[in-house]
Amino acid sequence: MARPVTDGWLLARALRTPGNTLALDPAGWAALIATARAEQMIGTLAYRLEGLRVPQAVARLLADARASAAQGRVVALWEAEAARRAMAPIGVPVVLLKGTAFVAADLKAGQGRSIGDLDILVPRDRIDAVEAALISAGWEWVKPDPYDDDYYRRWMHELPPLIHRERDRMIDVHHTILPLTARITPDAAGLLAWSVEVEPGVRILSRNDMLVHAAAHLFADGDLAGGMRNLWDVYCLVDQFGTNGLAERAAHHGLGREVARALRLSAALYGQGARLNPADHLYLRRLTARDGWGRATRPFTRLGFYVRSHWLRMPPAMLVRHLWTKWRGGHRGDIV
Amino acid sequence: MRHVFSVRIGPIGFRIGSDWRAPIAQMESLYTDYPGPHDGVPDFNVRLFAARPWRRVIRPSVMIGGDFVLPEAAPLPLAQGLLAAEMGMNLQMALGQRRYLLLHASVVERDGRALVMTGMSGAGKSTLAALLGTRGWRLMGDEFALLDPATGLIHAFPRLISLKNAAIGVAEAAVPDGVFGPLLPGTPKGDIRHLVPNAAAIAGMDRAADPALILFPRFGFEAAERYVAPSEVFVRLTQASTNYVAMGERGFDALTRLVTTVPARAIDYPDTDRALAQVEALWRDL
Amino acid sequence: MARAESLRIVHLDSFTAVYHRSSGITHLITAPAPEILATLGEAGMTFAALTERLATDYDLGDLDADALAARLDELVASGLVSAA
C-alpha cells in the first residue's frame, strides 16, 4: 500500500491560512476535499475558503457544501423547535448542546458545521417526564437490546437514542456530559443553572461551559473520532469569546486538564501554535490520522485510544463484563 | 490505493481507487473515450478495498467505500469489481449530490429536448434508453437524470448502461456493434452486463436539454396509455429522488416547475418494439 | 388567532404543494387547506374573521365551524400554521 502522502494537517493548514490553498495542485485539492469530508468538515472548509479564487471545479464543490450546510441548519433548528414544543407542557426548557447550539446562537463555530442528531441537556430528576413527553410527541426508541437499554439507563449520561416516527431524526437526551461511571463527574446542575436563553424555551450552555463540554466530549467521552471538528469548535469558541474565567470553571467541573489540553491542541492545529508535551504529540498524531483518500490510518494509535476511552468511562471490571456480554450477543467488535 | 482511475461523466468527476488492478483495467477500457474531471479535481471519491489484508488475495471480496458510504453494505466478489465501482459511483451521487436534483430515470434527447423515463427498477427504462439511442436519439443517461434548479434543464450523465437478465439479450441483438462489458452472472440483481454509450452520447455529454415529456413505462402488460396529473408526477418523482429532501427549497422549486410545465404519461407495453412506437407517437403529438 | 408560516406554495391540480421553510418539509394539501393558508397569510387573523373571508372569497360559506376548526388544528399540527 502506498505511504500516505498527506494527513489531517493538510486540512488544519487550509483552515488556519485559507490563502495557502491557492498553491495546491489538483491532487492536493482532491486530498484536501476527501479529508475534509471524512472529518465532517467540508462545510466549515467551504465557508473558510469562500471568496478565494480557487479552480472552478473546486468553487462549485464548495458552493454545494455551503448549500448543504445551510439546509442542515434549517433541519437542525426545526428539530430543536419540535423538542421545545414537546417539552413546553411539562415546563422543561430545551438546553441545546454542540452543533445545534452553535447554529441557534449564530456562533462562529456554527458556520458550515455539519449537524447530526439533536443533543439536549435536561435535569436528571425530570428525565422520566421528558422521556414521556417526547414519546407522546412522536419520538420512539431505536430498539437496542435489553442489556444495552439497562446499561444506558443506569450508567450512561443520556437516554437510549430516540428517533422521530415521521421525521426520521434522532434526539439524544443527556442529563450530564459524561457517563456516570467515569472518574470525572462534572456539575450537571451547574451547567443548567448557568445556561443562557437564546429564545423563549430554548437555551444553550454558558460560553465557558460550552468550551468545557467540547473538551469533555473530545477526550473523555470518545476515542477521538471527529476530533478535528471538535477542536475546531474549541478554536472558534475561544476566538469568539476568549478564555476569561475558563480555567476556574473547568476546574470546578473536574476537567481542568482536559480543557487545557484542548486549548493547546486547537492552538497547535488551527492557531498560533502551542507548547506541547509528549502526550499532546500522540493526540495530534491520532487526530490527524488520515490519508489522501480520507481514510483513517495509524491503526495501533487508534486502537490504543479506543481502549483508553472505554477505560475512562467504566472501571476495568465493568468494562470486561460489558464487552463480554456484547460479544456473546453476537455484536461485532466496535474496533474502528 | 494502489490503482487509480479518474473519469468525468457529464458534469461530475470521479476518482476511483482500488486495491486490485482488474476493476480499474476494466474501467479504463470501457470509459476509454471519456474525459477526465474538470480542473483535475474530482467531485467524488470511490474506494474499492479489501476488508482485511488477506481478503485481497484469499476469496477476494470488494468492499465499497468513498466520500459517502452505506455502513451495512455487503461486499462483492472480485469478479464483480466493475459492478462494485459502478455501485460506488451511484452511492456517491445518491448520498452526496447537492447541485442537481436527482431523478431516478433514464433520459434520451432529440432536437434539444429530453424524454425522461422513470419508474420502478425492472420497468425497462435502461433497455428503452439503450434502444432509442440507436434510433436517432442521444442517450443522456440510464440511471440518474440531473435536473438543474437554476435553469430547469436536464444535464447528461451517460454512465455505462446497466442491463439486467433478459434485457441483456434484447440489447445484444438490437445493438450488434455495441461495446459491452463482461457478463457478470450471479450478482444480487441477477445477471448484469454493461453497455458503453455510443460515440454520439459521449461526444454530447456536455449538452443539456429541455425536458419535454415524462414517461412512466411499465413492461409486460397490454399496450395502454394514461395521462398522469402533476400531483401524481410530483409524488412519484420525490419517491424516486434520493436527494429531494436534502436539496430543500431549490429541490421544491425545480420539481414543481418540472411537473407543472412538462406533460406526463404512463405507458404499458408488451414488448420493446411496441414501446418504441408508443414513444415516437407521443413525441410527435407534443 | 392563527397565521400561516413562511411558506412557498405552488398550485398543481386538485392538490397544492407547500414547502415549509422553517422545517424543510414538503406538504401536499387539498381544499380547503390552500384556501385557508392563502386567506390567513403571514399577518394572521382571528377564527371569526377567517370564517367570514373564506365564505366571501372562496364561496366556502357552508363550511361549518367545527370542520374549519378541525382543518386548522391539522394545519397547526403539521406546522404550516402557528396559533397564538
Which residues in chain A have Cβ-Cβ distances shorter than 8 Å to C21? Answer: 74
Share of chain A above pLDDT 70, in %: 79
SS3 B180: strand
Q: Domain extents for chain A?
A: 8-328
Q: Does C14 touch chain B (CB under 8 A)?
A: yes
Q: What gap in Å lies between CA A133 and CA A92, rounded to an integer?
A: 10
pLDDT at residue A111 tops 80? yes
The answer to whether A162 and A122 are in contact (CB under 8 A) is no
Residue A142's Cβ-count burial label (10 Å; 0-12, 13-18, 19+) is: exposed
Smallest CA–CA separation between A65 and chain B, in Å?
8
Residue of A nearest to C21 (CA): A74
Which residues in chain B have Cβ-Cβ distances shorter than 8 Å to A2? Answer: 1-2
Q: Are A57 and B43 inside 8 Å of each other by CB?
A: yes
Q: What gap in Å lies between CA B280 and CA B274, rounded to an integer?
A: 10
pLDDT band at A307 (very low <50, low <70, confident <90, very high): low
pLDDT at residue A3 tops 60? no
Q: In the prediction, which pLDDT does C40 show?
A: 80
Nine cell digits for residue A205: 450552555
Strand-strand pairing, C15-20 and A94-96:
unpaired
Residue of A nearest to C26 (CA): A167
Q: In the prediction, which pLDDT does B43 show?
A: 97
pLDDT band at A220 (very low <50, low <70, confident <90, very high): low
Q: Are B231 and C28 inside 8 Å of each other by CB?
A: yes
pLDDT at residue A167 tops 50? yes
Q: In the prediction, which pLDDT does A146 show?
A: 52
The mean per-residue pLDDT over the stretch A149-161 comes to: 69
Residue of A nearest to C79 (CA): A82
Residue of B nearest to C25 (CA): B245
Q: Are C12 and B252 inside 8 Å of each other by CB?
A: no
Q: Are B41 and A71 inside 8 Å of each other by CB?
A: no
The mean per-residue pLDDT over the stretch A32-54 comes to: 96
Cα dist from A276 to A281, A282, B222, whole Å: 7, 10, 76
Q: In the prediction, which pLDDT does A336 show?
A: 25
Q: In the prediction, which pLDDT does A181 show?
A: 52
Phi, psi of B281, rounded to the nearest 5 degrees: -65, -45
Q: Does A180 touch chain C (CB under 8 A)?
A: no
pLDDT at residue A331 tops 50? no
Q: What gap in Å lies between CA B184 and CA B218, rounded to an integer?
A: 25
ipTM over the 0.85 cut-off: yes
Domain A8-328 has CATH 3.30.460.40: yes
Cα dist from A189 to A177, A193, C16, C49, whole Å: 11, 6, 48, 48
Residue of A nearest to C82 (CA): A85
Q: In the prediction, which pLDDT does A325 show?
A: 46
Q: Does A88 touch chain C (CB under 8 A)?
A: no
The answer to whether B193 and B173 are in contact (CB under 8 A) is no
SS3 B14: strand
Structure letter (DSSP) for residue A125: G
Which residues in chain C have Cβ-Cβ distances shorter than 8 Å to A71? Answer: 24
pLDDT band at A144 (very low <50, low <70, confident <90, very high): low
pLDDT band at A297 (very low <50, low <70, confident <90, very high): confident
Q: Does C6 touch chain B (CB under 8 A)?
A: no
Q: Are A58 and B247 inside 8 Å of each other by CB?
A: no
Share of chain B above pLDDT 90, in %: 83
Share of chain C above pLDDT 70, in %: 87
> Which neighbouring-strand residues pair with A171?
A118, A162
| Number of H-type helices and E-type strands within chain A | 15, 7
Q: Which site among A68, A71, A74, A77 would you substitute to test the C interface, given the most C Cβ atoms closer than 10 Å to its Cβ?
A: A74
Q: In the prediction, which pLDDT does C68 show?
A: 75
**pLDDT tens, C1-32?**
666 678 899 999 989 999 989 888 898 888 77
Q: In the prediction, which pLDDT does A84 show?
A: 95
Q: In the prediction, which pLDDT does C46 show?
A: 81
Q: Are C12 and B260 inside 8 Å of each other by CB?
A: yes
Q: In the prediction, which pLDDT does B124 show?
A: 77
Where is pLDDT greater, at C24 or A196?
A196
pLDDT band at A305 (very low <50, low <70, confident <90, very high): low
Q: What gap in Å lies between CA A178 and CA A165, rounded to an integer?
A: 28
Q: Are C15 and B253 inside 8 Å of each other by CB?
A: no
Where is pLDDT greater, at B70 or A333?
B70
Q: In the prediction, which pLDDT does A184 show?
A: 73
The answer to whether B107 and B78 are in contact (CB under 8 A) is no
pLDDT at residue A158 tops 80? no
Q: Are A71 and B247 inside 8 Å of each other by CB?
A: yes
The mean per-residue pLDDT over the stretch A137-162 comes to: 72
Q: In the prediction, which pLDDT does A125 show?
A: 92
pLDDT at residue A308 tops 80? no
Q: In the prediction, which pLDDT does A222 show?
A: 53
Which residues in chain C have Cβ-Cβ distances shorter than 8 Å to A167? Answer: 25
pLDDT at residue A310 tops 60? no
Written as one letter, the residue type at B189 is: K
| Of the listed ranges A66-70, A135-139, A210-214, C50-54, the one predicted with least confidence | C50-54
Which residues in chain A have Cβ-Cβ distances shorter than 8 Å to C80? Answer: none
**pLDDT tens, A241-267?**
999 999 999 999 988 988 999 999 999
> Which neighbouring-strand residues pair with B243?
none
Q: What gap in Å lies between CA B103 and CA B247, rounded to an integer?
A: 12
Conformation bin of residue A330: beta by default, left when phi > 0, alpha when psi is -120 to 50: left
pLDDT at residue A317 tops 60? no
Q: Does C13 touch chain B (CB under 8 A)?
A: yes
Per-residue pLDDT of chain B (286 residues; tens, 9 = 90+): 789 999 999 999 999 999 999 999 999 999 999 999 999 999 999 999 998 888 788 888 999 999 998 877 889 999 999 999 999 999 999 999 999 999 999 999 999 999 999 987 666 788 899 999 999 999 999 999 999 999 999 999 999 999 999 889 989 999 999 999 999 999 988 999 999 999 999 999 999 999 999 999 988 889 999 999 999 999 999 988 999 999 999 999 999 999 999 999 999 999 889 999 999 999 999 8
Residue A207's Cβ-count burial label (10 Å; 0-12, 13-18, 19+) is: buried
Output the average pLDDT for chain A.
84
**pLDDT tens, A8-39?**
999 999 999 999 999 999 999 999 999 999 99
Smallest CA–CA separation between C39 and chain B, in Å?
22
Nearest to B223 by CA among B270, B167, B188, B182: B270
**pLDDT tens, B30-62?**
999 999 999 999 999 999 999 888 878 888 899
Nearest by CB to residue A37, choosing from B13, B67, B247, is B67
Q: What gap in Å lies between CA B131 and CA B110, rounded to an integer?
A: 14
The answer to whether C69 and C47 are in contact (CB under 8 A) is yes
Q: Which site among C19, C23, C25, C74 would you substitute to test the A interface, given the most A Cβ atoms closer than 10 Å to its Cβ?
A: C23
Q: Look at the alpha carbons of B116, B117, B119, B125 in this order and tell me if their dihedral is positive or negative.
A: negative
Considering only CB atoms, which residues of chain B are within 8 Å of chain A? 1-2, 13, 15, 17, 37-43, 45, 47, 65, 67-68, 98-99, 246-248, 250
Smallest CA–CA separation between C6 and chain B, in Å?
12
pTM for this structure?
0.87
Q: In the prediction, which pLDDT does A53 show?
A: 95
